[in-house]
Amino acid sequence: MEIKLNLIPQYRKDEIAQSSKMRLILRWEIELAVIILVFFALLFSLNYLLKFNLDAQTSEFESKQSKEKYETITNLDSNFKTVNAQVTLDESIQNDQLYWSRMFDKLNSAMPDGVGVNKLANKNYKVLIAGIADTRDILIAMKDSLAQEPCFANVNLPLSNLASKENVEFQIEFDIKEECIKNK
């Protein structure tokens, strides 16, 4: 058997008990401070992760918007190219348009009275006129008038058309210059 004698005075016992309580309170405070520090560290790391995710989402959203804008610009560019191609085609069609009415005006001014046209044909820029003239002199005057016109070239009246003196059937061929019947 063991006997324990407590020879420590009461005030010392109170001090030891108080000191023990103080150590316990200090230990709890340290543990609580560590827990609070861990909690704040967790909050800061969570805040960092959330900011990182927000930045990633924002940059992805901005890149998606940029991609959509790029696609829109690409679509508009292709539409502009299509429209420009159509406009260019329309312009080329208009530039290649032949205005035969100009030739008819020139032909009308070169035709003297007494000439009747029965047939008018063309192939590319070559024109054939067939008809009846009252006299051979009127037909020759018409040929000369056509030859003097700057829009007509290579006026050809075969000599066989000049065989008869009156009611002369004729065929005249000539070339019309391109610039006379096209827009410039």
Q: Amino acid identity of 165? A: K
State the pLDDT at residue 78: 92
State the pLDDT at residue 184: 60
What distances in angstroms separate CA 155 from CA 14, 136, 142, 152, 184, one per listed residue? 144, 17, 10, 7, 24
Q: pLDDT by residue (tens digit) across 75-133?
A: 999 999 999 988 888 877 776 777 778 888 888 888 888 898 999 988 888 999 999 99
Cβ neighbourhood burial of 38 (10 Å; 0-12, 13-18, 19+): exposed
Q: pLDDT by residue (tens digit) across 5-38?
A: 778 888 888 999 999 999 999 999 999 999 999 9
- Cα angle 19, 21, 15 (rounded to 5 degrees) comes to 30
State the pLDDT at residue 43: 96
State the pLDDT at residue 178: 83
What integer is the mean pLDDT of 141-165? 86
- CA nearest 127: which of 112, 110, 141? 110
What integer is the mean pLDDT of 144-164? 86
- Coil, strand or helix at 152: strand
The yes-or-no verdict on residue 53 having pLDDT over 90 is yes
The yes-or-no verdict on residue 167 having pLDDT over 90 is no
State the pLDDT at residue 18: 93
